[in-house]
A and B are shown apart, each in its own frame.
Chain A
Amino acid sequence: MGLENLFHGFQIAVTPFNLFITVLGITLGTIIGVLPGLGGANGVAILLPLTFTMPPTSAIILLTSLYWGALFGGAITSVLFNIPGEPWSVATTFDGYPLARQGQGGQALTAAFTSSFVGALFSIVLITFFAPLLAEIALRFGPPEFFAIQLLTFSSFIGLGGGDPLKSLVSIVLGFILAAVGLDIVTGQLRMTFGFVDLMKGFDFIVAVIGLFGIGEILLSVEEGLSFKGIRTSMNLRVVLDTWKVLPRYARTFVRGAFIGFWMGFKPGGATPASFMSYAFAKRFSKHPERFGKGEIEGVVAPETAAHAAGVAAMLPMITLGIPGSPTAAVMMGGLIIWGLQPGPMLFKDNPDFVWGLIASMYTGNLIGVLMVLAFVPFFASILRIPFAILTPLIVVICAIGSYAVHNSMIDIWYMVIFGVVGYVFKKLDYPLAPLVLALVLGDLAENALRQSLIMSQGSLAIFVTRPIAGAITAVALLFFALPVLTPWWRRLRGNPTVAHET
Chain B
Amino acid sequence: MKLEAVLAIVLMLLIAVPASAAAWEPTKPIEFVVPAGTGGGADQMARLIAGIAEKHKFSPRPLLVINKAGAAGAEGFIDVKGRKGDARDHTIIITLSNLFTTPLHNNLPFNWRDYTPIARLALDQFILWVSTTRPDKKDFKTAKEYIAAVKEQMGKPEQMKMAGTGSAQEDQILTIQLEQALGLKFTYVPFRGGGEVCVNLVGNHVDSTVNNPIECVSHWRAGRVRPLAVFDTARIPVGEWKDIPTVKEALGADVSYLMLRGIFGPPSMPKEVAAWYVALLQKVSETPEWKKYMDDGALKPAFATGLEYVKWVEENETLHKELMAKGGLLKK
Which residues of A are in contact with B by a Cβ distance under 8 Å? 41, 45, 48-50, 52-53, 139-143, 182-190, 193, 195, 197, 200-202, 268, 317, 321-324, 327, 329-331, 333-335, 337-338, 340, 342-347, 407-409, 448, 452, 455-456, 458
Which residues of B are in contact with A by a Cβ distance under 8 Å? 37-40, 43-44, 47-48, 50-52, 54-55, 62-63, 65-72, 74-75, 78-79, 105-109, 157, 159, 161, 166-169, 187-193, 195-196, 198-200, 202-203, 205-206, 214, 217-219, 221-222, 224, 289, 292-293, 296-297, 329
Identify which of B52, B62, B159, B205 contacts A52 (C-beta below 8 A).
B52
Q: Are B190 and A185 in contact (CB under 8 A)?
A: yes
Chain A residue at smallest Cβ distance from B222: A345
Q: Are A45 and B54 in contact (CB under 8 A)?
A: no
Contacts of A330 in B (CB 8 A): 37-40, 193, 195
Contacts of B193 in A (CB 8 A): 330
Q: Are A338 and B167 in contact (CB under 8 A)?
A: no
Identify which of B67, B189, B203 contacts A452 (C-beta below 8 A).
B189
Identify which of A41, A186, A201, A345 contacts B75 (C-beta below 8 A).
A201
Identify which of A41, A53, A186, A188 contacts B106 (C-beta below 8 A).
A188
**CA A76 – CA B31 in complex, angstroms?**
31
Chain B residue at smallest Cβ distance from A44: B38
**CA A340 – CA B295 in complex, angstroms?**
10
A55 → chain B closest CB, angstroms:
14
Q: Are B70 and A45 in contact (CB under 8 A)?
A: no
Identify which of A185, A268, A345, A408 contacts B218 (C-beta below 8 A).
A345
**CA A210 – CA B193 in complex, angstroms?**
28
**CA A183 – CA B109 in complex, angstroms?**
15
Q: Are A201 and B71 in contact (CB under 8 A)?
A: yes
13 example contacts (A-B, Cβ-Cβ < 8 A) are as follows: A53-B55, A139-B202, A141-B203, A201-B69, A321-B202, A330-B193, A330-B195, A331-B43, A333-B39, A337-B214, A337-B296, A347-B218, A458-B159
Q: Are A448 and B217 in contact (CB under 8 A)?
A: no
Q: Are A52 and B54 in contact (CB under 8 A)?
A: yes
Chain A residue at smallest Cβ distance from B54: A49
Chain A residue at smallest Cβ distance from B63: A49
Identify which of A52, A202, A334, A344 contacts B219 (C-beta below 8 A).
A344
Q: Are A142 and B200 in contact (CB under 8 A)?
A: yes
Q: Are A334 and B189 in contact (CB under 8 A)?
A: no
**CA A129 – CA B303 in complex, angstroms?**
46
Chain B residue at smallest Cβ distance from A269: B192
Contacts of B67 in A (CB 8 A): 45
B97 → chain A closest CB, angstroms:
13
**CA A257 – CA B40 in complex, angstroms?**
31
Chain B residue at smallest Cβ distance from A348: B222
Chain A residue at smallest Cβ distance from B48: A338
CB contact under 8 A between A189 and B202, given known A407-B70, A456-B187: no
Contacts of B47 in A (CB 8 A): 45, 48-49, 334-335, 338
**CA A324 – CA B195 in complex, angstroms?**
8
